[in-house]
Structure 1
Amino acid sequence: MGNRLNASQLALGSIAISLIVLALKLVAWWVTGSIALFSDALESLVNVGGAFLAWLAVRYASRPADAGHPFGHHKAEYFSAVAEGIMIIIAAFLILEQSIYALMRPIAPADWGMAGLWINAVAMVANLLWARLLIGRGGALRSPALVAGGRHLMSDVWTSVGVLFGLGLALWTGWSWLDPALALIVAVNILREGYGVVASSVNGLMDSAAPPDEREEIEEIIHRSAEGALQVHGLKTRRAGTALFVEFHMVVAGMMTVRAAHDICDRVEDAIRAELPEAKVNIHVEPEHKLEKTGISPR
């Protein structure tokens, strides 16, 4: 429960950071009138909405299983991530619209001043620090909502880097077309990021298997802890937010008592949970005539 509270606190912190960054970027846009800075601010507005959804999702996902949701509420975070991805895509199209309009009516770079660029740079640094925290801690907590938020913030950071570099170049050269051109590039980058967030989250909703390295770890645990069984086969895994579901068939001698087979199951389950605490293990015991040609052989 402590980990989930920590995730909830991070999600709540994201709302505060996103609001601060949004305010800074809006000021930067207001000072300069730059369409590229407007696009950067619009992406931060999406960050605020995404952070709020992530906070709600993390809180809901932490609820224990109940009669209506016997496998828990872990997938709630994927819905949050999908929603954030959709908002990112909508923001990208809004920026595209504004960029095309600005290409026809560009603002002279000399009218911008440097104050707006410095303000945007401060916002960028804040985003960078928080994004690194979200990705690192969100990955450790296996929180799709936090990781999606962190990835989006990192995209925002790279957007800001490109915008600041381009606007600095525009100030130096006087090329007013650079501003809306940069906004177009920003829009394409945001669109790509939005697609990535949606795709990865939908993959989670589709019960994707655990990563290969995690599956190998489970196989090794079974190999060393299933002593007394003849074979384990049919291993299946799936991730649902923070939860890991593991199921397999365990073949035992036909004359083995139910108690003895149950003891082996308990030992294997305990061994898996000792290294993967979030695992929910389901074992189907079978008699020896169910042996298959391939499987995991216990020590």
Structure 2
Amino acid sequence: MQPRRKAILISLIVSILLMITKFVAYFLTNSNAILTDATESIVNVVASSFAFYSIYLSTLPRDLNHPYGHGKVEFFSAFLEGLLILIAGIIIIANSIYGLVNPPVIDHLSTGTLILSATGLVNLLTGLYLINQGKKHRSITLYADGKHLLTDTYTSIALIIGLIFILITGKLWLDNVFSILAGMYLIFSGYKLVRTSVGGLMDESDEKVIVNIVSVLQNNRRDEWIDVHNLRAQQYGPDMHIDCHVTLPYYYDLAKVHQEISDIDKLINASTPHNIEFFIHADPCLPECCHYCKVKKCPVRKETFTGEIEWTQKNTRLNQKHFMHELF
């Protein structure tokens, strides 16, 4: 089975089993704190189900209608998961406020606490596994699902501490207070996940990727690569698409230009374990480039070389040759 599909299937099965277990604990105790955790488990199951489908779509090969593949669906999956977490937090807070006004009868708290502890440990291990697989396969869906399960774990830990405190003090109203605090944390976590997924859907630039690409180019630059500009990156599921302009000596023939572009492509792909599709537009040099061009024995040099311009995160992203940067 494809690794990403296997990981999310494990998450789905675990989520269903934990949801059933937590609702059993709730019916035993009638505790709003445990209901908080059980409610979030419903979100886990729904989110994992959609995540499974989205990963199935994202692993399909490219076709005429989807020339960049189906990877963008993973951002939508993460958006839905974040939205469900946020809604769950709101519902939990509303239910807990009602519980403060009309406190329920709570029983078997010690049994419920033990069950919640066991489910929290399983969530922790599953969440860490999914985050690891998400990073390994560049899957925001797996990463988001893993972060969700870790959020669920942190919520469980907070609620367990609260239940223990209730058992010690006998103050049952604290059950709802801890539920409200957990609900507020869920709202915050859901918002962050929604924000990340919207950024991906809007092709928000990944600063870490840009910094890494620029660093690789700067550390391995050739004299013939006069400047790099208009550098952009887009993520489509596990795949990354990068395009840029590279200024080369204008007297190079087509075969030489193609070779230089191919070498840049190979250099970038060798620097990462993930697949990167590079689109490079070759620009001819101009006389104004001469003062920072390091090509030795250039037959058409118009100006004396005065110094190399270091490629940075800023000047490689502007849609201008580097001599134009100095005018502004």
TM-score if structure 2 supplies the norm length?
0.84
Is 1:219 aligned to 2:214, yes or no?
Answer: yes
Is 1:107 aligned to 2:92, yes or no?
Answer: no
Would the aligned equivalents of 2:109 and 2:163 in 1 still touch at CA under 8 Å?
no
Q: Hey, what does 1:50 align to over in structure 2?
A: 47
Greater mean alpha carbon deviation, residues 21-30 or residues 62-71: 62-71
Would the aligned equivalents of 1:36 and 1:163 in 2 still touch at CA under 8 Å?
yes
- Structure 2 distance, partners of 1:206, 1:39, is 33
- Structure 1 distance, partners of 2:263, 2:173, is 68
Would the aligned equivalents of 2:155 and 2:182 in 1 still touch at CA under 8 Å?
yes
Could you give the per-residue CA deviations for residues 55-95 of structure 1, whole angstroms, max 9, x where no partner exists?
A: 11111111222111111111110000111111112212221
2:115 to 98, 115, 119: 119
3-state SS, counterpart of residue 231 of structure 2: strand
Greater mean alpha carbon deviation, residues 258-267 or residues 219-228: 219-228
Is 1:174 aligned to 2:178, yes or no?
Answer: no
- Structure 1 distance, partners of 2:185, 2:28, is 25
Count of paired positions? 292
Following superposition, the deviation at residue 178 of structure 1 comes to: 0.4
Structure 2, unpaired ranges of 5+:
293-308, 313-328
- Structure 2 distance, partners of 1:8, 1:291, is 53
Residue type of the alignment partner of 1:148: A
1:98–1:290 Cα change, 3 Å: farther
Would the aligned equivalents of 2:245 and 2:282 in 1 still touch at CA under 8 Å?
yes
Residue type of the alignment partner of 1:57: S
1:217–1:98 Cα change, 3 Å: closer
Q: Hey, what does 2:30 align to over in structure 1?
A: 33
3-state SS, counterpart of residue 114 of structure 1: helix
More helix by share: 1
1:201 to 193, 197, 206: 197
- Structure 1 distance, partners of 2:68, 2:49, is 25
1:141–1:59 Cα change, 3 Å: same
Could you give the per-residue CA deviations for residues 240-283 of structure 1, whole angstroms, max 9, x where no partner exists?
A: 32121211111122211001100111111112122234211001
Would the aligned equivalents of 1:64 and 1:72 in 2 still touch at CA under 8 Å?
yes
3-state SS, counterpart of residue 160 of structure 1: helix
Q: Hey, what does 2:271 align to over in structure 1?
A: 275
1:191–1:164 Cα change, 3 Å: same
Following superposition, the deviation at residue 21 of structure 1 comes to: 1.0
Is 1:91 aligned to 2:103, yes or no?
Answer: no
Is 1:138 aligned to 2:137, yes or no?
Answer: no
Would the aligned equivalents of 2:30 and 2:105 in 1 still touch at CA under 8 Å?
no
2:187 to 191, 195, 202: 191
Could you give the per-residue CA deviations for residues 114-139 of structure 1, whole angstroms, max 9, x where no partner exists?
A: 11111111111000100111112212
- Structure 1 distance, partners of 2:310, 2:72, is 30
Could you give the per-residue CA deviations for residues 36-68 of structure 1, whole angstroms, max 9, x where no partner exists?
A: 100110001100111111111111111222111
Q: How do 1:40-79 and structure 2 match up within 5 A?
A: 40-79=37-76
Residue type of the alignment partner of 1:203: G
Structure 1, unpaired ranges of 5+:
none
2:243 to 239, 242, 247: 247
Following superposition, the deviation at residue 205 of structure 1 comes to: 0.9
Residue type of the alignment partner of 2:81: E
Could you give the per-residue CA deviations for residues 6-35 of structure 1, whole angstroms, max 9, x where no partner exists?
A: 111101111001011111111111111101
- Structure 2 distance, partners of 1:189, 1:133, is 22
3-state SS, counterpart of residue 146 of structure 2: helix
Identical aligned residues as a percent = 30
Could you give the per-residue CA deviations for residues 215-239 of structure 1, whole angstroms, max 9, x where no partner exists?
A: 2332243342656333322222232
3-state SS, counterpart of residue 251 of structure 2: coil
- Structure 1 distance, partners of 2:205, 2:136, is 18
How big is the alpha-carbon RMSD for the aligned residues of Structure 1 and Structure 2? 2.0
3-state SS, counterpart of residue 203 of structure 2: coil
Q: Hey, what does 2:296 align to over in structure 1?
A: none
- Structure 1 distance, partners of 2:192, 2:170, is 35
- Structure 1 distance, partners of 2:244, 2:287, is 13
Residue type of the alignment partner of 1:215: I
- Structure 1 distance, partners of 2:287, 2:100, is 70
